[in-house]
Structures are given as structure tokens and as C-alpha cells.
Amino acid sequence: MSRLEVSDDTVLKVISRLNSKKLTIATAESCTGGWLAQVLTSVSGSSEWFRSGFVTYSNQSKQDLLNVPSKYFCCDGPGAVSEEVVGAMAEGTIAVCKTNLAVAISGIAGPEGGTPEKPVGTVWIAWRWEGRAQTKGFLFAGDRNQVRLAAVEAALLGILRFIP
């Protein structure tokens, strides 16, 4: 395995799926810091189907770049690590990049930042394609890098499940 220890086979399957469907993709990442975009663009020819990658680490950048509603970050909102936020990140990515497919990731990689409600390892991922959206929450074990890598792998596997 190369590419940040993400399965080469998984990456190549995703690329094959994108190419066979003639799709373009863009990413919006928080806790993974652009690792999904790095994995996807590590393959020669990726400029044919990879549109853009956002690293929207702060709540303000999620709002400014992807139009995530500010109410999600207020006192009674769901917070940055939530189904609502990754859904809005994916929707904003589609709108801004004029792409077919968007994947958004937000989570708590640790070692700090966890709460009893959202412990370290909590990650939400959203996939959006042709007006359809899917979100999924995860609780990954391990240190910071293990959580981030698990999120990237889950995002890639989710593409394969989401796009037939």
C-alpha cells in the first residue's frame, strides 16, 4: 500500500468507476486535511476527472467557501462534526465546483477535541451525486493518523457503494 497507506486497489477501483461513468469529483475535507484529494490526485491523469479539493478546517471557511449555514455552528446547532454539516459541505462543493460528485468529511481526529457525545474518532462523511445524497457517521479507533486514514478509506469505499 502506498498513498498514505490507503489500499491501491480501492483507489484504482474508484478511479475506474469515475472514468467508466464519465464523472468528475471534488472533495471538501476537514479532519482529513486534504488526504482524500491527495490520494485521488496521486494517480497520473487525475486532472481529467478531479475538479477541486477544499480543506475547510475552520467553521468560518465551511461557511465562506461552501455556504454551510452559520446556524449549524451556533449554540443549539448540530456542530461541525454532524450529518447536517457534511451534507451542506457536499452540496456546497457541487454548487461551487460544477462537478458531478462531491465527498465531504468532518470529524474529530484527536487526540483532543472529543466530548462524551462526540468522542475522538467520530467522523461524518457525505456523498452527493445527481441530486442524491447519502451521509454516514463513523466511530474510528486509533491515534490521529489512524482516524484520518480510516476516514479516507471509508470515503473511497462509500463512493464505490454510492455509485453503481
pLDDT at 42 over 70: yes
Q: Could you give the 3-state DSSP secondary structure of residue 162?
A: helix
Q: What is the pLDDT of residue 8?
A: 84
Q: What is the pLDDT of residue 7?
A: 79
Q: What is the pLDDT of residue 140?
A: 97
Judge whether 153 lies within some domain.
yes
Judge whether 92 lies within some domain.
yes
pLDDT at 156 over 90: yes
Pairing of strands 122-129, 25-29: unpaired
For the segment 148-157, the average pLDDT, to the nearest whole number, is 97
Judge whether 157 lies within some domain.
yes
Judge whether 3 lies within some domain.
no
Q: What is the pLDDT of residue 110?
A: 97
Domain count, the chain: 1
Of the pLDDT bands very low, low, confident and very high (cuts 50, 70, 90), residue 4 is low
Instruction: Tell me if 151 sits within 8 A of 124, measured CB to CB.
Output: no
Cell numbers 471538501: residue = 28
Q: Mean pLDDT, the chain, as a whole number?
A: 95
- Look up the CATH number of the domain holding residue 135: 3.90.950.20
Tell me how far CA of residue 16 lies from CA of 3, 31, 96, 114, 131, in angstroms. Answer: 17, 26, 25, 37, 22
Q: What is the pLDDT of residue 1?
A: 36
Q: What is the pLDDT of residue 86?
A: 98
Distance in Å from the first CA to the final CA of the chain = 25
Domain holding 123, by residue range, is: 8-162
Q: What is the pTM (predicted TM-score) of this model?
A: 0.95
Judge whether 1 lies within some domain.
no
Question: DSSP strand E in 1-86: where?
Answer: 25-29, 50-55
Pairing of strands 25-29, 101-107: parallel
Rounded to an integer, what distance in angstroms lies between the CA atom of residue 123 and that of residue 148?
Answer: 9
All 3 cell numbers of residue 88?
A: 451542506
Judge whether 102 lies within some domain.
yes
- 94-119 tens-digit pLDDT: 999 999 999 999 999 999 999 999 99
Judge whether 77 lies within some domain.
yes
